[in-house]
Structure 1
Amino acid sequence: MKAIILAGGSGTRLYPVTIPTNKHFLPIYNKPMIYYPLSLVMLLGIRDVLFIVNPEDINDFKKLFKDGSHLGMNIQYQIQEKPNGLAEGLILAEDFIRNDNICYMLGDNVFFGHDLVKIMADAKNEIEENGGAYVFGYYVKDPERFGIVEFDEHGNVKSIEEKPEKPKSNYAVVGMYFYDNKAVEIAKKVKPSDRGELEITSVNEEYLKKGKLKVKLLGRGFAWFDAGTHDSFLEAGEFVATIEKKTGLMIGCIEEIAYNNGWITKEQLLNLAKPLKKTDYGRYLTELAKEL
């Protein structure tokens, strides 16, 4: 399985902060926002990652992640000329995906919870064994802002609708999707919505029509932040800060995950820590190398 992280867009909901910079570089507490979805991909053991980015931001992404070899990964980049919708990312990634299945992440979503990685691994395994699409739902108070899934009395998915005026439930589909290789061809057939975008919900709807869409609800014990608004951005940062201060462990530390995965050596970890030695982040990496 390969991973695609959508990190383009104009970040208008965070204006004026995002006028001079891409929102995915903004700090969620002590690390860039984009580290959080990347860290989850890494925790799944996925080494091949494609970032879909704006033309003006590609050099900054390359400065941050290079080709990924320092993390034992293969990181590539694909330009999205304009924000034409989430489903367009699947089309742009066609050459990268080839014959693989897909973990598709939104770059501004932050997740945390007990057994989160196991739940994601279950979704990954389901797609690799049986195909189809596997997405996650989360209860929200403002369902008109999201893609919303409706269930029948037996818990089966009845419908899925993008930003409905009259929502049929309060369960939003979050920015983490698992697809088989058919997703690219499905995305190519999606027609622009009334908003003029290729909606990822349309891809999910097609899988639903084929009886190949699974939705797992993330209940209490899970935190999800769509960090593309000022309030949720602040909430995500405060949440990460609280967890890290209480536990002494970092969330979304990509160097730590690469080391724990055996993708880099102790010497490589220490080299990555050196430029950061005056920061808590750098000291954390150094102590990690000493402990293990």
Structure 2
Amino acid sequence: MIKKGIILAGGMGTRMSPLTKAVNKQLLPIYDKPLIFYPLSILMLAKIKDILIIVNKGQLDQYKKLIPNGNKLGIKITYIEQDKPRGLPDAFVLGEKFIGKNNVAMILGDNFFYGQNLTAKLLDCAKIKSGAKVLLHSVQTPELFGVAKVNKNNKIVQLKEKPKKFISNNAITGLYFFDNKVVQYSKKLKPSKRGEVEIIDLLLKYKKNNKLSADFIGRGGAWLDTGSINDYYKTIAFVQAVENRQGFKIACIEEIALNNKWIGKKEINKSIKFYGICNYSKYLENLI
């Protein structure tokens, strides 16, 4: 099982400016919770307890006020500050010491996932021993994404970033599972024309060795990239609708920790005290 996870919560958030000039995008609210809770919940659902969060230089204190070290969740959280964005694979270079000899999952801090069978899928993906695995989701506008064409064994046979000609409508989401070779592969990547190392080039290294496979979120599941204003508000509306209709919370990190038996009633009470009088605390009270 993958035991290490990385959340990439840096970046400039320029698509959401001026909202992101003073506050990091991942600290903005998605309905009643900060955005960072959503990718964190995904790693926790995959039973990953050792998590590195990569943040922009100067924004560390804001994150530590919200999630100091993971103690109240029964997990370990480490932070690294990034002086400037150098591309997604740079996370594995920055996190080399954190990763050590382990396999690792990485999720982008602005990605939202939801689905009935998602937990089972995440646990299955986290079993990866060698190679790399990506999660794909069908989209109507594949030309806006990195896309993958797969064969009947779910091996990826073709990858293309924002293809002008139709290859497939399977977009590569911002959730990846890698073996330990990801560190040495990432170190060898050369920056693209835009001056950053590209995740597609990293995935191509695995594909070249026939070690890149895929899984699908599937119909009934949802994947949203909250990096633009329109998608950000679509995600808020989605979470609000589901939570108000069904009565449970998406990405309640304390509930996930409780269900995983990482924490008990004592830690839930500490969280209630930490959050103060609010609807989120009332929900936590109902859990115990």
Q: Which TM-score applies when normalising by structure 2?
A: 0.95
Paired position in structure 1 for 2:190: 191
**2: CA distance between counterparts of 1:286 and 1:79?**
34
Contact 2:155 2:212 in 1 (8 A): no
**Root-mean-square deviation (Å):** 1.5
Call closer, same or farther: CA 1:262–1:155 in 2, change over 3 Å. closer
Partner AA of 1:124 in structure 2: A
Paired position in structure 2 for 1:138: 137
**2: CA distance between counterparts of 1:154 and 1:263?**
36
Further displaced range: 133-142 or 223-232 = 133-142
**2: CA distance between counterparts of 1:144 and 1:69?**
42
Paired position in structure 2 for 1:285: 284
Paired position in structure 2 for 1:257: 256
Paired position in structure 2 for 1:228: 227
Contact 1:24 1:107 in 2 (8 A): yes
Partner AA of 2:25 in structure 1: K
Contact 2:108 2:175 in 1 (8 A): yes
Deviations 1:185-233 (A, max 9, x none): 1111111112211111111111011000001222211100000011111
In structure 2, runs of 5+ residues without a counterpart are: none
- 2:106 corresponds to which of 104, 107, 113: 104
- 1:50 corresponds to which of 49, 52, 68: 52
**2: CA distance between counterparts of 1:75 and 1:101?**
17
**2: CA distance between counterparts of 1:165 and 1:190?**
24
Q: Does 1:270 align with 2:269?
A: yes
Partner AA of 1:17 in structure 2: L
Query: How far did 1:272 drift?
Result: 1.0
Query: How far did 1:162 drift?
Result: 2.1
Query: How far did 1:152 drift?
Result: 5.2
Contact 1:54 1:81 in 2 (8 A): yes
Contact 2:55 2:81 in 1 (8 A): yes
Partner AA of 1:201 in structure 2: I
- 1:24 corresponds to which of 22, 26, 45: 26
Partner AA of 1:27 in structure 2: P
Query: How far did 1:98 drift?
Result: 0.1
Q: Does 1:218 align with 2:217?
A: yes
Deviations 1:21-70 (A, max 9, x none): 00000111110001011011111221100001100211111111111112
Q: Does 1:8 align with 2:7?
A: no
Query: What does 1:41-190 correspond to in 2, within 5 Å?
Result: 41-125=43-127, 127-128=128-129, 131-151=130-150, 156-190=155-189
**2: CA distance between counterparts of 1:79 and 1:113?**
32
Structure 2 SS opposite 1:160: strand
Q: Which TM-score applies when normalising by structure 1?
A: 0.94
Contact 1:277 1:283 in 2 (8 A): no
**1: CA distance between counterparts of 2:166 and 2:61?**
40
Structure 1 SS opposite 2:58: helix
**1: CA distance between counterparts of 2:254 and 2:154?**
40
Paired position in structure 1 for 2:236: 237
Percent of aligned pairs with the same amino acid: 43
In structure 1, runs of 5+ residues without a counterpart are: none
Call closer, same or farther: CA 1:105–1:85 in 2, change over 3 Å. same
Partner AA of 1:78 in structure 2: I
Query: How far did 1:275 drift?
Result: 4.0
Structure 1 SS opposite 2:175: strand
- Find runs of 4+ consecutive structure 1 residues off by over 4 angstroms: 152-156
Further displaced range: 271-280 or 207-216 = 271-280
Partner AA of 1:235 in structure 2: K
Contact 2:154 2:215 in 1 (8 A): no
Call closer, same or farther: CA 1:77–1:275 in 2, change over 3 Å. closer
**1: CA distance between counterparts of 2:132 and 2:154?**
17
Structure 2 SS opposite 1:56: coil
Partner AA of 1:222 in structure 2: G
Contact 2:132 2:177 in 1 (8 A): yes
**1: CA distance between counterparts of 2:165 and 2:60?**
39
Q: Count residues with an aligned counterpart.
A: 286
Query: How far did 1:165 drift?
Result: 3.6
Contact 2:115 2:217 in 1 (8 A): no
Contact 2:154 2:213 in 1 (8 A): no
